[in-house]
Amino acid sequence: MRVKSPRVVVVKSSAALYLFDGTTLVRKYPIRSGSEQPIVQLEHNNRRTPVGRFQIVAKKSNSPYFRFLGLDYPDIATMLYGVHYGFISPGEARAIERAHDGRACPSWLTALGGAIGLHGGGEQLVTTAGCIALADEHIAEVFDVLRIGDPVEILP
C-alpha cells in the first residue's frame, strides 16, 4: 500500500484506527485499547490509553506483540499536568521537553507512564495495558506505511 502523507486517528469509543493519506481515508481497522477511565495516564501500569496528538518515535519489528510503533507519550500537556500536580520533578519535565524539542522519545520511566504505542496481538486481547492493539495482519500494514515522525491522534 502506498501512502504519501500518512496519519492515524484512533477513536477509542468506536474501537477503530483510521489510516489517512492526507485527508483521504485509506483504511479502517478494529482495535483494542486500555481502560476507558480518565484521559491522562499519570502512572505506570494503570492500563489507561492516553488521548492527544502524538508522533511515532520508535519502530520495532521484533516486538513481543509482533510489531510495535512507539509514541512520544508523555506529551507536553501531560508533562505540564504532571509537574503542576507533583507527579514528576522539574528535571524530569525538562528532559521530556528536550525530547519533544528534538523529536525524540521521551522517558517512558517517569510516574506519568510511557511505552504507549500501536502493536499487534489485538486478536487475542480484550483490553491492553494502555496501548492500541491491532490484529497482526493489520499492524503489519500500518507498520509498513508509518515512519518516524508521522502523526497519531488518539481521541476518547
User: How, if at all, do strands 52-63 and 24-30 pair?
Assistant: unpaired
Residue identified by cell 506529551 is 75
CA 65, 13, 148, 103 torsion: positive or negative?
Answer: negative
* The three three-digit cell numbers of residue 136, written as one number: 497482526
Residue identified by cell 476507558 is 36
37-91 pLDDT, tens per residue?
Answer: 544 445 445 567 999 999 999 999 999 999 999 999 999 999 999 999 999 999 9
Q: What is the pLDDT of residues 91-115, one digit of tens each?
A: 999 999 999 999 999 999 999 989 9
CB 117 within 8 A of CB 69: yes
